[in-house]
Amino acid sequence: MSQADKSRPATDKRERILDGALKAFARKGFYNTKVSEIASEAGVADGTIYLYFKSKDDLLISLFEDRMEWVIDRLNTELSTVAGVEERLRRAVELHFQLAIEEPDLAEFITVELRQSSKFMKEYKNPKFLDYLKLLESLVEDGQEQGAFRLDVEPRLLGRVIFGALDEVLLLLTFSRSPNRDVVEMTRQVTNIFIDGLRAR
Residue with Cβ nearer a second copy (83 or 151)? 151
d(CA 135, CA 122): 23
Nearest residue (CB) to a second copy, 15 versus 87: 87
Angle subtended at Cα 198 by Cα 195 and Cα 201, rounded to the nearest 5 degrees: 110
CB of 28 to a second copy, least distance (A): 9
Which C-beta is closer to a second copy: that of 29 or that of 84?
29
- H/E segment holding residue 170: helix 155-174
**In DSSP terms, which residues pair with 28 in a beta bridge?**
none
Contact 133, 159 (CB under 8 A): yes
Provide the residue type at 53 as one letter: F
Q: How far is the CB of 116 from a second copy (least distance, A)?
A: 5
The CB-of-23 to a second copy minimum distance in angstroms stands at: 16
Q: What is the distance between the alpha carbons of residues 186 and 11, in angstroms, rounded to a whole number?
A: 40
If the CB atoms of residues 28 and 54 are measured against a second copy, the closer one turns out to be 28
- CA–CA distance, 129 with 134 (Å, rounded to integer): 9
To the nearest whole angstrom, how small is the minimum distance from the Cβ of residue 104 to a second copy? Answer: 15
Minimal distance, residue 54 CB to a second copy, in Å: 18
Q: At closest approach, how far in Å is the CB of 150 from a second copy?
A: 8
Specify the amino acid at residue 20: G
Rg (CA), the chain: 19
Q: Which of residues 52 and 163 has its CB atom nearest to a second copy in the complex?
A: 163
In the complex with a second copy, the residue whose CB is nearer, 16 or 25, is 25
Contacting residues toward a second copy, per CB under 8 A:
29-32, 112, 115-118, 121-122, 150, 152-154, 157-158, 160-169, 172, 186, 189-190, 192-199, 201
Residues 6+ apart with CB under 8 A from 141: 155
